[in-house]
Structure 1
Amino acid sequence: MNLAENAEKLALGQHDGWEPTAWDGLEQTLEVIKARNIKIIINGGALNPKGLAQKAQKLSKVKRLGLKIAYVFGDDLLQEVKTELAETGKLPSHLDSENDKVSLAENATALLDTKGKPLVSANAYLGARAIVKGLELGADVIICGRVADASPVIGAAWYWHQWSDTDFDRLAGTLVAGHLIECSAYATGSNFSGFDEYPLETFVDLSYGIAEVFDDGTSVITKHENTKGLVNEDNIKCQFLYELQGGMYLNSDVAADTTNIKIEQVGKNRVRLSNIKGFAPPPTTKLAIFYHGGYEAQLLTNATGYATAEKWKLFEAQMHHALEQKGLKDQFQLLDFQILGTPAANPRSQFASTTYCRTFVQADTQLAIYGLLKAWSEIAMHHFSGFHLSLDTRTALPRSYLAYYPALYPQDKLKEGVVLLDEDGGEAETVDAGHPPRYQSLGKRENYETATHVDLSSFGPTRKARLGDICLARSGDKGANINFGLFVRHAHQYAWLQTFMTRDKMKELMGDDWRDDFFIERMEFPNIWAVHFVIYGPLGRGVSSCRLLDALGKGFADYIRDRLVEVPEQFLEEVQEVKRARRAML
């Protein structure tokens, strides 16, 4: 998403093309890595890795550090995609197109309108091959653009241990290690569903995760000593389940079968990963295409207290009538009335009694959205009792939005490589990265109910409780889809979770958010007592154009954990024992 937003500014000369924080980090760090003989691989080059590399090389020269700096190229395929689209009128295959049970989002192929919906960026997810070549050339710093999130970690371990490109088990283990530490402080306590079991100051000023990768591809996730945060089995399991789509985790260099992964505490803030199987990579990689989707806006209106449900029904009816009068009903790609919050019973403050409606609209033209705003302004004084606004109507003004089309791109067509710079920033040496020695076509992802179905009554008396009282979880986005994994704390509780958490139960727990054009995949991770789901469709065309408030799907896990279900009483007591023991240790 950052690439696409900055691409427009770069074209207008308003952006350097790289992430500003990447330069900030390099500026602070180059002298340190020289003194300590450390190498850096960073993907903050974004749209302009060459420019960032040359800027870093200039700083190295000014400070007389003598560092060798390189950059990776080959991910930017914008001109190629534009040309192919213009010549053939056809799109590359959609990432989810191989699953005939999945319905693509409405307007998913709107970028075929190349004049009305022009392309903004198209970047392939690269592997670690060019990174390894750069390290072999002696580079101290390698600047990447759109490599896969785990590729810098894979490249570092691959080079350090002198693996071959067919050491698939080793590469697969490192892929998962890279997945665990790539997302800021997620491996040390950020976005952790069990945070409330610890003193809150644990999560203030978090440190970042470290992956110690061994020659056999196993790894230990840890953090610096005497820093905030935590690294334990629960949090690492949560992060492992994040952004997965089934048991097979894909990268341009390797396919990792994580179904039987083991996640084990081996010391304070040290968690070991093992039992990951590697295979040849798929013949395609992901190609992230962004294009102008049109214009969008939101109008925020509030209601307080008595008869709230009827108030919002009236508001929606008034809006539909006004739009119909103006002939605007068919002018929108999307018009959504989203009610957020529920008034508290016997509220102790007006805030507790207030909810709001987010009228979210997308259209091909700004004019249509201005028409909606005008229609609303003309009936604003027809409002229900207690109607009021959030600040003002500036959020209702149209803004351009970018839409996402995730595609498949043949790996053998990639022209990927690395350039080593000379002291003055010129190109001293260019090396082609080549391609994987072989590929393995993938079948359909696993999708099954449990094979170990048990009688739920065998777990004894139950009572209503939140699912989160006994389960931790993590969720996130992959294009149009939400992935969601949850797990229990004890091995003997797992048979209950396997039997209870079916696809039908998942639909039931989603409640009013479930739509019949969604599709669910389900599978299990037996060694970490987890069940995992991919729900296809809720995020529409992806984060940048999603109609939902939670466009990244991060809140989904805690919504499901907040649902009341029948829970075995013994499980609730067992979890309380875990919490009491933890508090005693702290």
Structure 2
Amino acid sequence: MPANLKRPVRIANCSGALTDPGIHMYNQAKYGPVDVITGDYLAEANMGDTAVAAASNDRPGWIATALEGLEMSLDIIHEKKIKVVVNGGCIDPRGLARKVDQMARDKNLPLKVAYVEGDDLMPKIQSLLPKLPHLDSPNADIQLDKATREFLDHPDTMPIVSANAYLGYRAIKRGLDLGADIIICGRVADASPVIAAAAWWHGWQEDQYDELAGALVGGHLIECSTYVTGGNFSGAHDYPVEAFLSLGLPIVEMDADGGCVVTKHETLGGFVTADTVKCQFLYELQGDVYLNSDVKADIKQVRVTQEAKDRVRVSGIRGRPPPPTTKLAVFYRGGFQSEILVNASGYATQHKWDVEEAQLRAALERTGVLGELDVLECQRMGVPMANPDSQLASTTYMRIFIQAKELLAVQKAVMAWYGRFMTHFPGMHCSLDMRTLQPKPFLGYWPALVEQKEIDESITLVTGNEESRQSVGPPKKTEPLGPRSSYETTSPISTENAPFTMRPLGDIALARSGDKGANINLGIFVQTRPQWDWLRSFMTRDRLRTMMGKDWRDWYWIERVEFPDIFAVHFVVYGILGRGVSSTSRVDCLGKGFAEFIRAVHVPVPDDLPLASARL
């Protein structure tokens, strides 16, 4: 353990998804002082996709870009004595750890490599299934998509391909305490490597919940690559295009008391502001209590303060003992799907789409296929420009989305569309590359809750062919989950009688949204107290329903909480992604565009309310 425990530990993130190239790890090591590099390579669907690919010998069970980063960075990691913790092991952390150990020995670098296991519950999933509640089942108001539980009744045709629990920080910290330099993880929670690094550096114990909760939020702030340095930033329109050409990745400085500062290397691109931090804080939240298998973070009183250029302090986080359960991501073979993309240009577009949809449905009914499909949606995308200045400006498209359990049903539906191709509306066109028509298998998703006592979490040190394994066991103390908060504002101001102008909500508010299993979260915030009094009073659950327009379904359910110290209202819309990212029919499958859609909706903004102040 480092001798100087007073200095904050500098933890640099090198990845937020498997798409982030290995050069990010090298750059984080090269361009300034850091103590630990962490990397998050795993979206929820990666586990299932990789399990299927590995079973077919299509690719290894780890993430290629994680290996790429380590290959590029081993020398500088050794030279600067940087610790590395990544979840790029995916379904085979042992395999990646052994490969990295061999790479280090080939270079004569005395680096200690370790790996974390325990997340893979496939060996016992069948015995666990009868007692696994759905992640959202504690809320009686929530209705699950009708297909959510079908795989439980069809184990032969809809077999499970992966079942991975979200692990915490304890095995990682044990590895760091044992002197490991590089730790390869599978499905640990996104922020767990940061919690572990801070706990190791500062010597925190398992019951220092305020400190652990602060590190949980610190990890959440940097886990998504450039999302806190300019990527996916709803205030981007206030910056020149050139500001986004070479975004660097973030660093969090974790204090001994659990407070943190979000920053970045000065020589790398991007920017860290109070607004970019608030946007990332509000991304993929679970309400006002943020959960990890080691700690609950009470985030109701979070504070975000710009201290200097590219330095933002986050404080106000409080911790509680963790729940006795953790999230378990179960993926199964859901069936087959196909997408057909058709374009229309120019005049009377709506009639053209009416014809396209009516012809398809009639053809499916004639051939008897319609009843074999689980999903058929004809989604109309875009609005043609009035008096267009180019053909592209007048063109919109229809996305025909088809799903069924049986391959033959999807094939027959595609052929029914194909067979009436020449009866098309005037000017119909599409790409001659028809590969999207070909049915492809998809994975269904069951997010469940599993008791932590069912998990054998461990750390294994690797030295050539020798391995030394230690189990860490479940948390020593847990606390049951309480009811999730959901409420309207107290003492609302009147928003009805003052003179107003209809404006996009984005004229006054920034926002961020993302996927949470079958749900989408949405956080909206403003800059000033008058704006906040208006926002908290105006943005009710009913208001969001109205703003969703034709996207709203009566079986959805909305949760609402507030973060008054950052002037933010937060919603979760339950059910909108169906069974989740891997099988949803929504074109915005990750929910990232939902916030920008809501910001574009026109609302009555009082004329005496100051609009968004300059954010540069």
TM-score, L = length of structure 2: 0.91
Measure the CA separation in 2 of the matches of 1:437 and 1:277.
Answer: 19
Match for residue 456 of structure 2? 415
Per the alignment, in what secondary structure is the counterpart of residue 388 of structure 1?
A: coil
CA contact (8 A) 1:452 1:495 kept: no
Match for residue 486 of structure 2? 447
* Most deviating of 462-471 and 26-35: 26-35
Q: Does 1:321 align with 2:362?
A: yes
TM-score, L = length of structure 1: 0.96
CA separation of 1:84 and 1:501: change in aligned 2, threshold 3 A: closer
Match for residue 538 of structure 1? 576
Match for residue 426 of structure 1? 466
Per the alignment, in what secondary structure is the counterpart of residue 510 of structure 1?
A: helix
Q: Does 1:66 align with 2:131?
A: no
Measure the CA separation in 1 of the matches of 2:177 and 2:68.
Answer: 26
Match for residue 388 of structure 1? 429
* Most deviating of 59-68 and 127-136: 59-68
Match for residue 485 of structure 1? 523
Match for residue 92 of structure 1? 132
Task: Give per-residue Cα distances to partners, 1:364-405, cap 9 Å, x unaligned.
Answer: 112111111221122111111111123343211100001111
Per the alignment, in what secondary structure is the counterpart of residue 95 of structure 1?
A: coil
Task: Give per-residue Cα distances to partners, 1:438-469, cap 9 Å, x unaligned.
Answer: 111122211111002111257x5321111001
Which of 275, 278, 282 lines up with 1:234 in the alignment? 275
- Equivalent positions of 1:42-441 (< 5 A) are 42-85=86-129, 90=130, 92-112=132-152, 113-422=154-463, 424-427=464-467, 429-441=468-480
- Which blocks of at least 5 consecutive residues in structure 1 are unaligned? none
Task: Give per-residue Cα distances to partners, 1:453-505, cap 9 Å, x unaligned.
Answer: 111257x5321111001000000000100000001111221110011000000
CA contact (8 A) 2:116 2:460 kept: yes
* Most deviating of 507-516 and 388-397: 388-397
Measure the CA separation in 1 of the matches of 2:179 and 2:504.
Answer: 55
The alignment's C-alpha RMSD in Å is 1.2
Deviation at 1:205, TM superposition (A): 1.0
Q: Across the two proteins, how many residue pairs are aligned to each other?
A: 571
Task: Give per-residue Cα distances to partners, 1:49-104, cap 9 Å, x unaligned.
Answer: 1111111111111111111111001000112113545xxxx361100011111111
Q: Does 1:578 align with 2:614?
A: yes
Per the alignment, in what secondary structure is the counterpart of residue 69 of structure 2?
A: helix
Deviation at 1:162, TM superposition (A): 0.3
CA contact (8 A) 2:530 2:609 kept: no
- Which blocks of at least 5 consecutive residues in structure 2 are unaligned? 1-44
CA separation of 1:352 and 1:562: change in aligned 2, threshold 3 A: same
Per the alignment, in what secondary structure is the counterpart of residue 330 of structure 1?
A: helix
Measure the CA separation in 1 of the matches of 2:576 and 2:193.
Answer: 31
For 2:436, give the aligned amino acid.
T
CA contact (8 A) 1:206 1:227 kept: yes
For 2:558, give the aligned amino acid.
I
For 1:179, give the aligned amino acid.
H
Per the alignment, in what secondary structure is the counterpart of residue 100 of structure 2?
A: helix
CA contact (8 A) 1:57 1:425 kept: no
* Most deviating of 126-135 and 303-312: 303-312
CA separation of 1:367 and 1:457: change in aligned 2, threshold 3 A: closer
Measure the CA separation in 1 of the matches of 2:97 and 2:267.
Answer: 33
Measure the CA separation in 2 of the matches of 1:45 and 1:565.
Answer: 47
For 1:357, give the aligned amino acid.
M
Deviation at 1:203, TM superposition (A): 1.3
Task: Give per-residue Cα distances to partners, 1:212-246, cap 9 Å, x unaligned.
Answer: 00000000000000221110101100000000011
Match for residue 595 of structure 2? 557
Task: Give per-residue Cα distances to partners, 1:144-181, cap 9 Å, x unaligned.
Answer: 00000000000000011001100000000000000000
Deviation at 1:320, TM superposition (A): 1.1
Deviation at 1:6, TM superposition (A): 1.2
**Identity within the alignment, %:** 50
Per the alignment, in what secondary structure is the counterpart of residue 461 of structure 2?
A: strand
For 1:445, give the aligned amino acid.
R
Match for residue 513 of structure 1? 551
Match for residue 3 of structure 1? 47
Task: Give per-residue Cα distances to partners, 1:517-564, cap 9 Å, x unaligned.
Answer: 000000100000000000001101111101011000000000000011
Measure the CA separation in 1 of the matches of 2:400 and 2:434.
Answer: 12
Per the alignment, in what secondary structure is the counterpart of residue 434 of structure 1?
A: coil
Per the alignment, in what secondary structure is the counterpart of residue 185 of structure 1?
A: helix
For 1:493, give the aligned amino acid.
Q
Match for residue 500 of structure 1? 538
Deviation at 1:291, TM superposition (A): 0.4
Measure the CA separation in 1 of the matches of 2:597 and 2:432.
Answer: 28
Measure the CA separation in 1 of the matches of 2:486 and 2:432.
Answer: 47
Measure the CA separation in 2 of the matches of 1:291 and 1:457.
Answer: 49
Measure the CA separation in 2 of the matches of 1:300 and 1:430.
Answer: 52
Measure the CA separation in 1 of the matches of 2:419 and 2:431.
Answer: 18
CA contact (8 A) 1:252 1:282 kept: yes
Measure the CA separation in 2 of the matches of 1:483 and 1:377.
Answer: 38
For 2:479, give the aligned amino acid.
Q
* Most deviating of 348-357 and 546-555: 348-357
For 1:433, give the aligned amino acid.
V
For 2:122, give the aligned amino acid.
L
CA contact (8 A) 2:122 2:162 kept: yes
Deviation at 1:570, TM superposition (A): 3.6
Deviation at 1:322, TM superposition (A): 0.8
Measure the CA separation in 2 of the matches of 1:491 and 1:59.
Answer: 56
CA contact (8 A) 2:113 2:183 kept: yes
For 2:311, give the aligned amino acid.
R
